[in-house]
Structure 1
Amino acid sequence: MSTIRLVLRMVAAKNLYLEQLDVKTAFLHGDLEEDLYMIQPEGFIVQGQENLVCKLRKSLYDLKQGLRQWYKKFDSFMHRIGYKRCEVDHCCYVKSFDNSYIILLLYVDDMLIAGSGIEKINNRKKQLSKQFAMKDLGTEKQILNMRIIRDKANGTLKLS
């Protein structure tokens, strides 16, 4: 929570751009590291093979390891594209460019991207959308069920 507040303070103080994304079906992006099997789901039972089970290849909602596997995949992707993970808050990523930077916050499937250049942010959103199913929510509205109220003219930003 303190990282969100810190980044939002920077956004207000430096008049940064702030965009919001939602990762669609985040838990389903994770790759499993161990073999997991489940009974055939209702409606998908193969006649004559009712006693067989299904081997999972991807994570599912409600699996204990679902969130962890999603985060590991996202973290690996962010490192591959040159972002550094904050040591204090592993949900915060930063990348510097020649005369600009981007800060990305990820909390489960909610994402905020702050930066000094909208082009870099839009490029990052495209890159993320190619890798993961995303919904572009545009300019900031909320994070973790808290509304973000911004008054650019007065340089203020509030959470409610």
Structure 2
Amino acid sequence: MWIIPRNQKYLTLLLRLIAVIVFARLFITVMPSKKPVVSNEKHTFHSGRRSNAAIVSLCRNSELYEMAGSIRQIEDRVNKNFNYPWVFLNDEPFSEEFISMTSALVSGPTEYAIIPHAHWSYPEWVDLQKAKEGRDALEAKRIIYELTYH
């Protein structure tokens, strides 16, 4: 189960990190060399084939403009050539403004879905008091992003 950070800044960073990892796995392959490799530099290329994939974004209505910036970056660099569909997930219904703006920005089709509250928050079996104590302990140790781990 994914633990979703509640802070908008961290959620935006998380979405960008996920997008980078997904696209790195999809589009970068090692090109075999016929000559012996003299350096440690890896040679990569894009195969030109479209993978069967979609771009999935966890976001809220309040993050529309940050999401628009992320969409623009991914579309400009990668998706303009492949038109992958975008799937937007939220814990509440998307606003008309969110739907119209994101639909206009992406090159492929869009889907919008609601994640049930039970999947978006702590599971029933988690002791919330113990989880709070764990977060407080991380904060006391000054561990960076302590609240995003829970």
Alignment TM-score, normalising by the size of structure 1: 0.25
- Which structure has the highest strand share of the two? 1
- Bigger relative contact order (CA 8 A; separation at least 6): 1
- Which structure has the highest helix share of the two? 2
Alignment TM-score, normalising by the size of structure 2: 0.26
